[in-house]
Amino acid sequence: MLAVDLLRLTIIGESPVIEGMRQLILKVSGFDAPILISGETGTGKELVARGIHYCSERSDSAFVPVNCGAFNDELFLSELFGHEKGAFTDARRSKTGLLEQADGGTLFLDEVDSLSPKAQVSLLRFLQEKEFRPIGSEKIKTANVRVVSASNKNLQELVNSGSFRQDLFYRLDVLSVSVPPLRERGDDIDLLVNHFISQYCRQYRLDVKALHPLTLEWIKDYAWPGNVRELENYLHRICILSDGQVIHVREQKGNPDILTMVNEQLEKLENLSILGDFREEKNKAVQDFERQYVHEILKECSGNITLAARRAGKDRRAFGRLVKKYGIDREQYIM
């Protein structure tokens, strides 16, 4: 498959800003230099990074993503460089680091702005020397990787404030790609809506569904601060919870509220003279939403409970109780 066709299949949209981004991806992927991807939360920065990798000459080797915000200093360095058995308290066996796993391919550093000063120094040293030493080892190793990093913050402003190293910024920002927010993508939202609803209908073996025109209208008017990720998660939920082939959800002020639609479905149940099951059905609908929400946000946060709780706007212990309540194993989302 040609690279341009691959990008059209994976990066949905026909707006001028998306077409311009696809052309830029094709251009920068041909040069084996570090790339910094910028864009708001949920715009699809990892999707762009994968596009760069699979359009490059490194496509036959590994694409290795790591969420820098999900690790503390020690764990990040262990993940990046690997470690020898006995190097620290819980090192019961030797572990190959992500740099070795990505040898010949691409290492994607998401949320690179969250790296601590110590981690920034270690990463800078590798970028300068192309060498590293696993924790607890005396052996120096090399890795042939192209580093692609991403941030939803302005790294230049972080450099100016002193929280991000200027020399590391220059090493990472040789080439750059900016991912546009959903609100600047015009009619792309129609294509994305059709794409995601079709995807979930196939996934759950549902009859083909479509949005009611009024629902589509307010969805297009909503700002979607979480961008494509927020839109995708919302469509995922309403696709599962809606009855019939036409999905009709009333407009909400602020963040779309899935419980509005849940209550509409429960009103239908009430009208069908099954009032005795009303509370049971309502609890089930809420629990289905909670379970799906916890799964999705843990996936986004690579299994990091603290980060997931912060993004959910909940106390860490309260969020932990939800994880335990639904028997969710966060380990499955840890990279």
Question: 268: pLDDT confidence band, cut at 50, 70 and 90?
Answer: low
Domain boundaries, the chain: 3-180, 186-333
Tell me if 241 sits within 8 A of 261, measured CB to CB: yes
pTM: 0.75
Q: What average pLDDT does range 52-63 have in this prediction? A: 96
Quick one: pLDDT at residue 131?
Answer: 94
53-62, 98-107, 231-240, 298-307: segment of lowest average pLDDT: 298-307
Angle between helix 316-325 and helix 305-312 axes, rounded to 10 deg: 110
- Give the tens place of pLDDT for each residue, 192-241: 999 999 999 999 999 999 998 888 988 998 889 999 999 999 999 999 98
* 28 Cβ contact partners less than 8 Å away, ≥ 6 residues apart: 35, 52, 175, 177
Res 45: pLDDT? 98
Residue 267 pLDDT > 80, yes or no? no
Q: Token match 């819980």: residue? A: 90
DSSP 304: -
H-helix or E-strand spanning residue 83: strand 82-83
pLDDT at 254: 42
What burial letters (b/e) apply to 189-203, b meaning 16+ CB within 10 Å?
A: beebbeebbeebbee
- The β-bridge relationship of strands 141-142 and 175-178 is unpaired
Percent of the chain with pLDDT over 70: 89
Report yes or no: 70 and 304 within 8 Å, Cβ to Cβ: yes
Give the CATH class of 186-333: mainly alpha
Provide the mean pLDDT of the chain.
87
Residue 265 has pLDDT above 70, yes or no: no
What would the pLDDT profile of 101-159 be if each residue is shown by its tens digit? 999 999 999 999 999 999 999 999 999 999 999 988 889 999 999 999 999 999 999 99
Closest C-alpha to 43, from 254, 185, 145: 185
pLDDT greater than 70 at residue 258? no
Other Cβ atoms less than 10 A from the Cβ of 90: the count is: 7
Residue 28: HSE in the Cβ half-sphere, 13 Å Cα cutoff? 26
Question: Residue 304: is its pLDDT beyond 50?
Answer: yes
Span 3-180 CATH architecture: 3-Layer(aba) Sandwich (3.40)
For 133-171, letters b (16+ CB in 10 Å) and e give: ebbbeeeeeebebbbbbbbbbebeebbeeeebbeebbeb
